[in-house]
Amino acid sequence: MGESLGTTIIGQDEKLMPFITSCNIACGYHGGDDVHTPNTINLALEHNVRIGAHPSYPDIEGFGRRPMHFEKEELATIITTQVLSLKKMVEEAGGVLTYVKPHGALYNKASINSEEAQVIIAALKSINPNLALMGLAGSEMGKVSKGMDIEFISEAFCDRKYELDGSLMLRSKPGAVFSKVEDVVKQVESIVFDKRVETAAGKFIAIQADSICIHGDNPMALEFVKAIHYLFSSKIG
């Protein structure tokens, strides 16, 4: 959330906020600015929503979804700068930054590359050892987090198709991003209640998740989140 930049509005932060329990707020390197980011922080605090930082590669033009490579020291600075900036804004608004979730290509690389994950985790621990890291369930981020003694929040996706190895299907492939409410509800039910998810190959793989991600920039995000909210309300209470 908080990914709007200038006159370019991305997502529906104000409409989504009443239906969620945590939000990943952009830190300015792929979206967000000095107007939209504070507004999103205030919305989160108003609705008692847990706030996480959503740092990315420095890639406004590609919305943080283009693969990039940086040396360890430079990447650490990129992460630290973004998280500290958002942390300061959250605290000035009277809130607390509790976790960090990498965005886009940074998230994807850290999910399979232990060195990338180590740099991210070391950066977070240098800021606040109590910060948690949110990442793909069953990924390298989770394994490295355990070894580096940082809380890891395992995440699953309601609006993305999975591959057999537990990775997310590339957005460029047909069917990688869901557009129908029924597909989203079916996937969430499977993940939450059956601890498994159907892959693009039609086979199920095991999955254990603490959090369900909805992409705020998906045009159907509001319909998705309402359906999931109703699902949990009716089945869990």
Q: What is the pLDDT of residues 38-70, one digit of tens each?
A: 999 999 999 999 999 999 999 999 999 999 999
Query: CA nearest 207: which of 173, 150, 148, 167?
Result: 167
Please check the confidence at residue 217 and state whether its pLDDT lies above 90. Answer: no
Would you kindly state where each structural domain of the chain is located, as residue ranges? 13-235
| Cβ partners under 8 Å of residue 155, min gap 6 | 101, 134, 135, 136, 137, 209, 210, 211, 212, 213
Please check the confidence at residue 237 and state whether its pLDDT lies above 70. Answer: no
DSSP one-letter string for 22-37: EEEEE-SSSS--TTHH
* DSSP-assigned letter for residue 161: P
- 24 burial level (CB within 10 Å; 0-12, 13-18, 19+): buried
d(CA 195, CA 173): 25
CATH number of the domain at 13-235, please?
3.20.20.370
Query: CA nearest 228: which of 171, 172, 187?
Result: 187
Task: Label residue 92 by pLDDT band (50, 70, 90).
Answer: very high
Please check the confidence at residue 235 and state whether its pLDDT lies above 90. Answer: no
Q: What is the pLDDT of residues 116-130, one digit of tens each?
A: 999 999 999 999 999
120 in Cβ contact with 54 (< 8 Å): no
d(CA 225, CA 71): 38
pTM (2 d.p.):
0.94
